[in-house]
Amino acid sequence: MSAGITKHTEPKADPSSTDEFIKGLWRENPVFVQVVGMCPTLAVSNSAQNALAMGLATAFVLVMSNILVSALRNFIPKEVRIASFILVIATFVTIVDYAIQAISVDLHKNLGAFIALIVVNCIILSRAEAFASKNGIGKSILDAMGMGLGFVFALFCLGAVREILGNGTLFGIAVLPESFEKWIIMILPAGGFFTLAAWLLLFNFFKLKKAKA
Amino acid sequence: MSQQQTISTPSTADTSSKKMLTAMVGIGVICALLIVLVYDGTKERIEQLRAEALEKAVFRVLPGVSSSQMFELGADGVFKPVNKPEGKNPIVFAGYNDTGEFLGVAIEGSGQGYADIIRILYGYSPETQTIVGFYVLESKETPGLGDKIEKVDHFLANFTELSAKLTADFSKIENQIIPVKQGAKSNPWEVEGITGATISSRAIGNIIGESTATMVPLIFAQKESFKKNPDQK
Amino acid sequence: MLSKTLHISSSPHINKGISTDTIMRNVVYALLPMVVFAVYAFGTNALFVILASLVACVGTEHLLCVWSGKPSTISDGSAVITGLLLGLTLPPIFPIWMTIIGGILSIALGKFVFGGLGSNPFNPALVGRAFLQAAFPVAITTWYPAFSEGRFTNFSGSVFAFPFSTPIVDGITGATPLSAFKFDKVTADSMDLALGLVSGSIGETSALLIALGGIYLITRKMMNWRIPVSILGTVFVLSGILFLIDPKLYPSPFFMLFSGGLMLGAMFMATDMVGSPITPLGVVIYGVFIGLLVVVIRIWGGLPEGVMYAILLGNALSPQIDNLIRPRIYGTKKTKP
């Protein structure tokens, strides 16, 4: 995981606040456009519920760490900024871990090791590095919420497709007739790659079409 | 990571490392405080949920049970009531009904499945000398295939009256529990497998077979010690 | 790959005169006896599966070429072979709708996304089959006994299952010799295996006919004989050693050689020119690697059959093999690959 994608997310002249929010949802969607944070994206998107929970947990960590990083941005010397960011992020991941355990043991069992891995999800580090450490708290919150919701949206897209095809259900509710043959591969790790590829294909198709027009 | 990183000149090195230190320590303290607060706030609920989940599992494998007590199997082969598991000693749960009558023991077993180790809990009733319930605690079996061991009715029906009868001198199991193919069950100590989940269902049969072979004679010999003392309450 | 107009290419400019389509046509000839035998052994259902696979592969190739604005490449015959091979690796009562998905994915994911024939790192038919194996593991392990009565008049409800619905298996199913060995330690008679009198995928049962097809291609110099020889040799020697150690626990080397998809895989799939190494030594390393994996997966793995995964892994490794044994250019230092 690297923060090498900072280049094209550099804050522009003075974009409007709504733009800071919207860009993460669509134009700079972390999964479909920036293609970062693939580990949780592929691993826990095998059902809509897991995807949503993972997405929300990540979004929460993203918003909270962006707030703290932005608040402390003048206090943190740049030599130790990455270490400081990781410290902040790890704190909120630990908090989320406890919170999920307190909500449901089953959910915690499903998300398992991947909660701890939110720490190294480069969406969070890259937003801290590229945005929060250079902008005020208000804008940082908007940015984090946009990116976070964009991540939730992307994970949900993957999780929904995989759960419907792989299990015939959505959020555990049957949406396809009983006789539907489940595509087991879709809930296996390989299915994550196939589904992600299909979504990227769709996104690039729209992007090319727009560029041509 | 970025080109902004500059090498501090010797004259500013002292002040800069001091600043770094204070920053890191400051952030560390803030983070530690946050974690401690959340830990304290959620600790009780997490422990309660965990105990509930385990208790739910015990209740599932021992029909009619409403309370349970943890027992630890010491190195000397004697079961002792404990409140928290210590070390690596095997743990069993004795189940009691509303009036405090001892009904059976929930035993944990584990073994190699298709994907990874499968951990199960099963209920044993010394009264009838049978396995009366079964529940998968942890498995990573293939969704849609191997995880049928948690869902398929005819497989789960194996564990309502599975014979774990001891020999006449109660020293060992008369017929070790073994897995057989779907539709091939002909004896009360056989576990009928699932077509399409052959390896996983076999693994369960073998886990129970091996676990009962060691645990059941021990439990049966000490069944009196599981009974609740009236004064213990 | 093949352009009908002016051909501009790098050296060598003088070639042997055997073009891609000649080779492909001969591979089809070599496969035909197996197709005929398979239809005889498994009945009309098998014919439908093979036809569905053929139509899906050729159709996908044509459509993808048209959509990408290229001349259609179906005339080079490679899609026909992919279709035949995919059909031959499926069980005789495999649903047609699944077969079609497999065919589409074989060509689209196995070949076209890499840039068409000549650029595919894996054998396309095996890519399709691997997907089907992972997606529909129950259907792909539902076997039908060979030479059952009424095999020409009974249309299986499984083959004609409504698209996307679970196939309903009517009548009898039979375990393959390999799964019978894996789960019940029962070995089949080697002679029956060689002649193809057992249950299994459509085209993998008759080891004899597959060997004949392979020998035909080898004598016409259209197949690298080192590949099948090194794969089969490795399997034979390795399982022979194991058999000598404990004949009760391990199957006989003849059983290993003639059962399952090993013969078909070694002769027709591992020999895919695109997916295998170039040099003679590289090819032997590749063959030994595949043979080793087949034995390991069959004997110690969770699955009864491992030829497909062994070949796919071999395909993935072949560029590295070529790299490893690439001769040093005269006068240059030995460098680490």
Q: Which of A172, A71, A86 is nearest to A126 (CA)?
A: A86
Task: Write down the pLDDT at residue B51.
Answer: 78
Q: Are C140 and C91 in contact (CB under 8 A)?
A: yes
pLDDT computed for residue C8 by the predictor: 66
Element (H, E) at B94: strand B91-96
Cβ contacts of B108 within 8 Å, gap of 6 or more: B90, B91, B92, B119, B120, B121, B137
- Predicted confidence at residue B13, as pLDDT, reads 62
Interface contact B196-C137, CB threshold 8 A: yes
Structure token digits, residue A49: 């519920």
Is the torsion defined by CA of B162, B167, B170, B175 positive or negative?
Answer: negative
Neighbours of chain A (3+ CB pairs under 8 A): B, C
Chain A residues whose beta carbon lies within 8 Å of the beta carbon of residue C102: none
Beta bridge partners of B93: B70, B106
Q: Is there a contact between C105 and C86 (Cβ–Cβ < 8 Å)?
A: no
Inter-chain CB proximity B27 and A184 less than 8 Å: no
Residue A185 is predicted with a pLDDT of 87
Q: Work out the minimum CA distance from B114 to partner chain C, whole angstroms.
A: 7
pLDDT digits (tens, 9 = 90+) for A153-183: 999 999 999 999 988 888 888 888 888 888 8
Is B24 in contact with A95 (Cβ distance < 8 A)?
A: no
Q: What is the mean pLDDT of chain C?
A: 84
* Segments forming the whole domain that contains residue A150: 17-159
Answer yes or no: are the C-beta atoms of C43 and C202 closer than 8 Å.
no
- Put simply, the answer to whether C183 touches B145 (Cβ < 8 Å) is no
pLDDT bucket at C335, cuts 50 / 70 / 90: low
Is residue A181, in this structure, part of any structural domain at all? no
Give the number of other CB atoms < 10 A from CB of residue B93. Answer: 24
Q: C315 in helix, strand or coil?
A: helix
Q: What is the mean pLDDT of residues C196-209?
A: 81
What pLDDT score was predicted for residue B150?
A: 81
Which pLDDT band, with edges at 50, 70 and 90, does A3 fall under?
Answer: very low
pLDDT exceeds 90 at position C104: yes
Contact with chain B for residue C166, Cβ under 8 A:
no
- Inform me whether the C-beta atom of residue A186 falls under 8 Å from chain C C-beta atoms: yes
Backbone CA torsion sign across A98, A100, A104, A105? negative
Tell me which residue of C179, C181, C236 sits closest to C207, measured CA to CA.
C236
CB contact under 8 A, A180 and C162: no
Q: How many domains does chain A have?
A: 1
pLDDT tens for B130-167 read: 888 888 887 777 766 777 888 888 888 888 888 888 88
Q: What is the mean pLDDT of residues C121-148?
A: 86
* A199 inside domain: no
Please tell us whether the domain made up of C20-319 is placed in CATH 2.60.40. Answer: no
Q: Does some domain include residue A164? A: no
pLDDT of A15 above 80: no
What is the number of CB-based contacts under 8 A between chain B and chain C? 11
Task: Tell me the ipTM for this assembly.
Answer: 0.76
Quote the tokens at residue C159.
């083959």
* Number of Cβ within a 10 Å radius of residue C180: 18
Of the pLDDT bands very low, low, confident and very high (cuts 50, 70, 90), residue C232 is very high
Q: Which residue in chain B is spatially nearest to A69 when comparing CA positions?
A: B27
* pLDDT of res. C12: 61
